[in-house]
Structure 1
Amino acid sequence: MQYRRFGKTNLCLSVFSLGTMRYLAGFENAQQTIEQALALGINHIETARGYGKSEEYLGGVLKAGLSVPRTRLHITTKISPTNDADTMRRCINESLEKLQLDYLDCLGIHGLNTWQHLEWVQAKGGCMQAVQEAVADGRVRHVGFSTHGSLEIILAAINTDFFEFVNLHYYYFFQRNAPAIQLAAEKDMGVFIISPADKGGLLYAPPQSLKDLCQPFSPLELNYRFLLSDKRIATLSVGPANPHELIEPLRFANSNRELTSEEICTFKRLENHQKATLEINQCSQCYACLPCPENINIPEVLRLRNLAVAYDMTDYGKYRYGMFENAGHWFPGMKANHCTECGDCLPRCPENLNIPALLEDTHERLNGKAGRRLWG
């Protein structure tokens, strides 16, 4: 296992962090998974108030005792933004009680996803007052935020200078947040990548065509290498449902060298294949088409189409497309069938794409079972 400095927190974190969102099989499974993670060199466990019984399970495991001393283990929990300090005070106290801890190494504002959330964070006497009190009395050591919001919101949140770290989405197949990575690095913030195997493309179960294009590497390996070769990134989350699911991702725990020429060529092959397959219908993800009068997240819809057409990543596309209209501010936007063909987006598209036709095609390809967040 390799370890990296987590920005201005000065914590030295394992390049893989144990996420605890998927502990659905009870306390004993959680205990076994945590112990296996520690045995494999992970020293950072991340949970959240909103992850079902995750905090309670982790607290029980900590109370029972671990093979690693508390001083060598870093614990993060996350609490959603609130519009007042009293609610945040109560939430911090409840999380510490569930975790059976005197202090948190890191507290993240969970899901700073909207402009209203940012207003709550910046408001005088708001939730950050309670957070700052907890820092002052030692119950919280470091403060950051997690986000599923737009790039503009992420940049604005980073620029508040309230935070020491950020948890965000950024993968080979989703590079929209690259400017946020750069800004966070310039401010010496720790960068934590959310769910690279799952949200990054269901890469633990890739389609055969994608596997063929990535040879001699696996799609999962290439995504991990894309991230771990970037020294601005400190740690990636791995969210196993059981101890066995730690084995495959942690094979890459030492893969933090610069990209090799063969890996660079493979990424170029993927890029060229997408261009050749999509031809004049490739969305370049410039976001100039927004805002949409019908609140369709056009770039994200067309990103999913890009991946489904170019790489046969249809299962991933259906998984993410099904979240529209079902996950609130965690995955905002209406499905593509709400397009009225108003033409508002057309003159703004530098590729002159027939956006209404592509939206219709995407809906036909990807519409299926409605999705939702694991913990709603």
Structure 2
Amino acid sequence: MEKRRLGKTGMEVSLLGFGGFHLVEIPADRAADLLTTYLDRGGNYLETAASYGDGESEKKIGEIVKNRRDELVLASKTGVRDAEGAMAEIDRSLKNLQTDHLDIIFMHGVGDEADLEAILKPGGSLEAAKKAKEMGKVKHIGITAHGQPDVLIKALKTGEFEVMMTHFNYFDKFNFPKLEDQLLPLVKEKEIGTLCMKPLADGFLWQNVEDAFRYVFSLPVDAVVTGMNNQEMLEMDLKLAEEFEPLTEAEKEELFANAEELGDYICRQCDQCSVSKELGEDLKAVFRMEGYFDRQMYDGRPRNPAEYALRDRLRFWFGDRELAEARYQKLELKAADLLTKAAEFKACKYGLDIKNKLEIVDYKLGESEVMQ
């Protein structure tokens, strides 16, 4: 399996990383079989968190780590924000994982500026991570975040973090365009280790696994980390990593045009909006706020109960609803304003019904109390 350099850490990581969250769903013996197969096939990045099953994931991984520590890059995460609590959690993670050091400790799930400030301030969890590094308990310090990446970008500009992890996939590319447009160039400029999570958009892309993995493998990331809780899933993901060939630009455009999850509702944030030369940037801004709000998942269309339930569960997954509402109010032109211009709009090259979409955004973020 291909290995890539993890930023400036000096470590190399396999293209496919093993995320430990879903190990809490299966017995320890099955978890051990999966982890052993993964390592035997050339994988070397294992990642978990203290919060996954309140240490259960770490304990299952620890049974493998104790015999193969020198073969792998091992990471865990802490969501605690004070130094004393974070150090206690790091120590517990080391015990659970049956090792004397972590290659990476992540400050996990940084949500907003107040959260970041709590980590960075004296007595915050970064202080504990640095102390743990001085003591040899931790080699590198990282950070993770979900959703709109402004806070993550701010955190990485501090120079305090050597590795970062967030979500990249061909669905959220269009809900959070800063992920690829601003965050990826920043981490490459600063040589920050770059890890992709959620390649299937929290499972939303489950019907197009091959396209989803090939897309993220083609990004300038160092590894793609995913959860695997059965042998069939592991074998599929390993095969995709082992046989990976980068997408061409033409293949990317074909994916963006034809992916069923994007369909004729998701705004592709085109460089040149085909709908209106004059108002294209305003349309994109409105639809970008919808992406922040609920990942453009509610589109007013009836679906079977399973698909509806998945969308309903994932649409507010990242908790950016209030941020979207606040930023929407600051837009110069909102959906209601643009609806007055709808008769002038040309056809969207991706088939979006712009008038209908603006009505839905006005229902989500504007003044309409009932979906028209």
Partner letter of residue 163 of structure 1?
Answer: F
2:294 aligned with 1:301, yes or no? yes
* Deviation string, structure 1 residues 224-282 (Cα, Å, up to 9, x no partner): 2222222x20111121112332011221113554424662452254289968x34xx94
* C-alpha separation in 2, matches of 1:194 and 1:242: 18
For residue 289 of structure 1, report the CA deviation from its aligned partner. 4.6
* C-alpha separation in 1, matches of 2:114 and 2:92: 24
Q: Is the CA contact 1:114–1:149 (under 8 Å) kept in the aligned structure 2? A: no
What is the aligned residue count?
A: 325
Q: Is the CA contact 1:283–1:302 (under 8 Å) kept in the aligned structure 2? A: no
* Deviation string, structure 1 residues 134-155 (Cα, Å, up to 9, x no partner): 1111110011011114221111
Percent identity of equivalent pairs: 23
Q: Is the CA contact 1:324–1:331 (under 8 Å) kept in the aligned structure 2? A: no
Question: Which runs of no fewer than 5 residues in structure 2 stay unpaired?
Answer: 271-282, 340-353, 366-372
* Deviation string, structure 1 residues 96-116 (Cα, Å, up to 9, x no partner): 111111000111111112212
Do the aligned partners of residues 202 and 345 (structure 1) sit closer, same or farther apart at CA in structure 2, a change above 3 Å counting? same
Of 174, 184, 195, 1:181 maps to 184
Partner SS, residue 144 of structure 1: strand
Residue of structure 2 in register with 1:130 after alignment: 128
Residue of structure 2 in register with 1:246 after alignment: 234
Q: Is the CA contact 1:290–1:345 (under 8 Å) kept in the aligned structure 2? A: no
Residue of structure 1 in register with 2:312 after alignment: 321
CA RMSD of aligned residues (A): 3.6
Residue of structure 1 in register with 2:77 after alignment: 78
* C-alpha separation in 2, matches of 1:261 and 1:301: 28
Q: Is the CA contact 2:172–2:201 (under 8 Å) kept in the aligned structure 1? A: no
2:165 aligned with 1:167, yes or no? yes
Do the aligned partners of residues 195 and 289 (structure 1) sit closer, same or farther apart at CA in structure 2, a change above 3 Å counting? same
Do the aligned partners of residues 119 and 314 (structure 1) sit closer, same or farther apart at CA in structure 2, a change above 3 Å counting? farther
Q: Is the CA contact 2:144–2:166 (under 8 Å) kept in the aligned structure 1? A: yes
For residue 2 of structure 1, report the CA deviation from its aligned partner. 0.8
* C-alpha separation in 1, matches of 2:304 and 2:216: 20
Partner letter of residue 333 of structure 2?
Answer: P
For residue 22 of structure 1, report the CA deviation from its aligned partner. 0.8
Partner letter of residue 242 of structure 1?
Answer: N
Deviates more, 1:34-43 or 1:220-229: 220-229
Of 58, 65, 70, 1:62 maps to 65
Q: Is the CA contact 1:301–1:321 (under 8 Å) kept in the aligned structure 2? A: no
TM-score for the superposition, normalised by structure 2: 0.75
Residue of structure 2 in register with 1:49 after alignment: 50
Residue of structure 1 in register with 2:205 after alignment: 203
Do the aligned partners of residues 6 and 26 (structure 1) sit closer, same or farther apart at CA in structure 2, a change above 3 Å counting? same
Do the aligned partners of residues 118 and 258 (structure 1) sit closer, same or farther apart at CA in structure 2, a change above 3 Å counting? same
Q: Is the CA contact 1:105–1:141 (under 8 Å) kept in the aligned structure 2? A: yes
* Deviation string, structure 1 residues 21-60 (Cα, Å, up to 9, x no partner): 1111221111111111112211010000111010111123
Q: Is the CA contact 1:81–1:111 (under 8 Å) kept in the aligned structure 2? A: no
Partner letter of residue 80 of structure 1?
Answer: G
Residue of structure 1 in register with 2:333 after alignment: 347
For residue 318 of structure 1, report the CA deviation from its aligned partner. 4.2
Do the aligned partners of residues 298 and 195 (structure 1) sit closer, same or farther apart at CA in structure 2, a change above 3 Å counting? closer
* Deviation string, structure 1 residues 337-372 (Cα, Å, up to 9, x no partner): xx9xx9886824596566773158889xxxxxxxxx
* C-alpha separation in 2, matches of 1:265 and 1:333: 29
Partner letter of residue 213 of structure 2?
Answer: Y
Do the aligned partners of residues 316 and 42 (structure 1) sit closer, same or farther apart at CA in structure 2, a change above 3 Å counting? farther
Partner SS, residue 108 of structure 1: strand
**Mapping of 1:90-239 within 5 angstroms?**
90-175=88-173, 176=177, 177-178=179-180, 179-199=182-202, 202-204=204-206, 206=207, 219-230=208-219, 232-239=220-227
Do the aligned partners of residues 268 and 28 (structure 1) sit closer, same or farther apart at CA in structure 2, a change above 3 Å counting? closer
* C-alpha separation in 2, matches of 1:34 and 1:197: 20
Do the aligned partners of residues 313 and 344 (structure 1) sit closer, same or farther apart at CA in structure 2, a change above 3 Å counting? farther
Do the aligned partners of residues 133 and 250 (structure 1) sit closer, same or farther apart at CA in structure 2, a change above 3 Å counting? same
Residue of structure 2 in register with 1:7 after alignment: 7
Residue of structure 2 in register with 1:367 after alignment: none
* C-alpha separation in 2, matches of 1:313 and 1:192: 34
* C-alpha separation in 2, matches of 1:32 and 1:233: 28
* C-alpha separation in 2, matches of 1:256 and 1:27: 30
* C-alpha separation in 2, matches of 1:316 and 1:12: 39
